[in-house]
Amino acid sequence: METTRRDFLMVGTKLLVMTAATAAALEHVLAGAPEAAAAGPYNTAEHWWAMLIDVEKCIGGGHCVRACKTENNVVDEPMYFRTWVERYHINMSDPDHPIVDSPNGGINGFSEKYADGDGKTFFVPKMCNHCADSPCTQVCPVGATFRTNDGVVLVDKDYCVGCRYCVQACPYGCRYLDPRTHTADKCTLCYHRLTKGLVPACVEVCPTGARQIADLKNPNDPAHEYLRTHKIQVLKPQMATGAKVYYNGLDGAVR
Amino acid sequence: MPGVDGFMYPNEVELQWSVLIVLYPFITGLVAGAFILASLERVFNVAAVKPTYRLALLTALAFLLVAPLPLQMHLGHPERSFEMMFTPHTTSAMAMFGFVYLWYLMVVLVVEIWLEYRRELVLAARASTGLKRLFYRVITLGSDNISPASLRIDDQVGRIVTIIGIPSAFLLHGYVGFIFGSIKANPWWSTPMMPIVFLFSAIVSGIALVLLLYIATSWIRRATVDMPCVDAVATYLFYAFLVDFALEMIDLIHRIYEADESFRALDFMVKTRLFTSQIVLQIGLGTLVPIGLLGLTQLLRLRDRTRVRIYVTAGVLTLVGILAMRWNVVIGGQLFSKSFLGYTTYKMGFATREGLLPAVLVLLLPLGILAALVKLLPPWASADAAHS
């Protein structure tokens, strides 16, 4: 087959574009694994995990909810979520009583509901707060749910008796009983990914970077700088649970 | 979402604890209350209530045997429940249930009943033959000595067991209250009053149950109802109820006056979704009416027949009221969102695993066990003898 100058240019351009795309993709994959630098086996004593959520960056697209359901095989019913997104609407004449919705956990995003200038509207992603003094692990009668050395609250499915006391004890509504296993289920902070040096699925897919994983024991983690330079709040601080999901720009009306 | 008003966190839409968990504090409350009534006679030597002593003990045993059943039926993995005993999590209130339960069952109730019945068991073993004899011999644990000296020891030990038993009964039900009262995430439950309110409502319900059972079994046996006895029991019921009502009102008034962040949500719930079960059934029909009826019997000189009818009516209403109270605590505590922004609905099934039918069966089962116990260990002989 004869190669014309035209063909050559076409193929050459395509190759160039593809190489650039591959390089960009490769960079993206590597960027998603900042902890990969710490080669060798994962040592729980070297980490203390937390999460940063920037309310001002969340656009309510629901990518995190979808990614979480897929990555963690969360049961596909509209009442069970490891993470979900709430839309708050606050009418300035009644700031104490916000109007909140979260259709199907925000999995498909939100349709327009409020006109511009009509009060304020914002999105709040919710997930397990991986509390340092978690009431859910306190009440478990068999110790099937526990906080790991590195600060992640997990459930041992092979040990949980399914009494649901932990679901009652969580002030944030982050737990549910998995109807398939009849055991308690909740966000694991994608522990299977963390221990391989990857970030949680919700962090990975967030298009605006509203969610950031933070290793508070790693002095080089940019989270320290972020926490230092932003006004940070946790949900329901009066519960004194040692919540470790730190919100930037959280409105006082959020529960 | 259907059944939801306002906003619930998505995972809250479905209730976690069903009608079976309503029965759990109701049944353990009946146990504790029945036992405390029995202890009155034993420790404080109240002769008037003696005819109810054995019946109260057997009632406590029958209901205690059933108490763990609704929990087992509710668990996602009942086959793992033994882990609560073998590998208990020491910070968990729930993990202690097995130990509190076994202590109460094996150390207090069974021992006390055995000591109370030992003489008759030995006599029955002597009088019977064959398998029946073997059965009674096994039950007596081989002990054949019913000399006056040995019976005196039985009585003294029984007294000590009862004295240990009273705080144990308080522990059993106060502890059940703590399971709810210690959940800081839930403002409807989280109050240090919870164990105390549970305890007094338990005493009320247990006394009412034994009163009803005593009158019912008297009718069934065509025996005359011992009026001094039922009068005394009804008086206890009246005063226990006054204390219980006062405690519940202190809790309620305190909540209303403090009006903390949860108040608006809870107030709305009580006035809407809980109105029938809380205002009408629990406080109205289940508390004020029986207190009023029992108060009448204290004030007026009524004929025996009228008094018995009033006691039966008040007793039934009391049980309905206390059951409603358990319902309002357990179900009510799950109807509102912990965001205080919305409410969900409890959908009770019928013939499902945690539906109405199994709940009714669980409530009837102790009565069947009690009937069997009464056949095996008749409580009347000594009751009638004591009266004559």
Nearest-Cα distance to chain A for B348, in Å, is 17
Alpha-carbon distance of A50 to A53, in angstroms, equals: 10
Q: Answer yes or no: are the C-beta atoms of B226 and B51 closer than 8 Å.
A: yes
Task: Verify whether the Cβ–Cβ distance A139 to B91 is below 8 Å.
Answer: yes
Q: Which residues contact A78 (CB under 8 A, 6 or more apart)?
A: A104, A105, A107, B1, B10
Alpha-carbon distance of B177 to B326, in angstroms, equals: 10
User: What pTM value is reported for the model?
Assistant: 0.91
Q: Which residues contact A121 (CB under 8 A, 6 or more apart)?
A: A87, A88, A89, A90, A113, A114
Antiparallel, parallel or unpaired: β A245-248 and B5-6:
unpaired
Q: Tell me, yes or no, if A72 comes closer than 8 A to chain B by beta carbon.
A: no
Nearest-Cα distance to chain B for A111, in Å, is 16
Alpha-carbon distance of B133 to A34, in angstroms, equals: 78
Chain A with chain B: Cβ pairs closer than 8 A: 123
Q: What is the pLDDT of residue B2?
A: 80
| DSSP-assigned letters across all residues of B74-114 | H-S-GGGTTHHHHS--TT-TGGGHHHHHHIIIIIIIHHHHH
Q: Across B208-341, where does the E strand assignment appear? A: none
Q: Tell me, yes or no, if A133 comes closer than 8 A to chain B by beta carbon.
A: no
Mutation pick from B24, B90, B92 vs chain A, by most beta carbons of A within 10 Å, is: B92
Q: Answer yes or no: are the C-beta atoms of B179 and B3 closer than 8 Å.
A: no
Count of domains forming chain B = 1
Q: Which residues contact A103 (CB under 8 A, 6 or more apart)?
A: A110
Amino acid letter for position A184: A
Chain B residue numbers with beta carbons less than 8 Å from the beta carbon of A101 are 7
The residue ranges of every structural domain in chain A are 5-31, 44-248
Task: Find the domain containing B349 and state its range.
Answer: 5-387
Residues A80, A83, A85, A88: what is their CA dihedral angle, to the nearest 10 degrees? 90
| Mean pLDDT in order along chain A per 10 residues (255 residues) | 70 71 62 54 96 98 98 94 98 92 97 89 98 98 97 98 98 98 98 97 98 97 97 97 98 94
Alpha-carbon distance of B324 to A212, in angstroms, equals: 48
Q: What is the pLDDT of residue B388?
A: 39
Tens digit of each residue's pLDDT (9 = 90 or more) over B293-347: 999 999 999 999 999 999 999 999 999 999 999 999 999 999 999 999 999 999 9
Give the Cβ contact number of residue A19 at 10 Å. 10
Q: What is the mean pLDDT of residues B38-42?
A: 89
Tens digit of each residue's pLDDT (9 = 90 or more) over B191-222: 999 999 999 999 999 999 999 999 999 999 99
Q: B294 to each of A87, B146, B304, how far by Cα in Å?
A: 54, 43, 14
H helices of A63-134, in order, are: 63-71
Alpha-carbon distance of B207 to B211, in angstroms, equals: 6
Give the Cβ contact number of residue A26 at 10 Å. 10
- What architecture is domain A44-248? 2-Layer Sandwich (3.30)
Q: Is A59 helix (H, G, I), strand (E, B) or coil?
A: coil
Give the H or E element holding residue B198.
Answer: helix B193-220
Q: What is the pLDDT of residue A37?
A: 47
Q: Tell me, yes or no, if A128 comes closer than 8 A to chain B by beta carbon.
A: no
Q: What is the pLDDT of residue A28?
A: 57
Look-up of token digits 């509102």: B336
CATH of the domain at B322: 1.20.1630.10
Could you tell me which residues are beta bridge partners of residue A212? A52
Task: Verify whether the Cβ–Cβ distance B185 to A135 is below 8 Å.
Answer: yes
Tens digit of each residue's pLDDT (9 = 90 or more) over B347-367: 999 999 999 999 999 999 999
Alpha-carbon distance of B214 to B226, in angstroms, equals: 9
Confidence bin at B81 (pLDDT 50/70/90)? very high
Average pLDDT across chain B, whole number: 94
Alpha-carbon distance of A188 to A194, in angstroms, equals: 10
Task: Verify whether the Cβ–Cβ distance A172 to B341 is below 8 Å.
Answer: no
Task: Verify whether the Cβ–Cβ distance B10 to A79 is below 8 Å.
Answer: yes
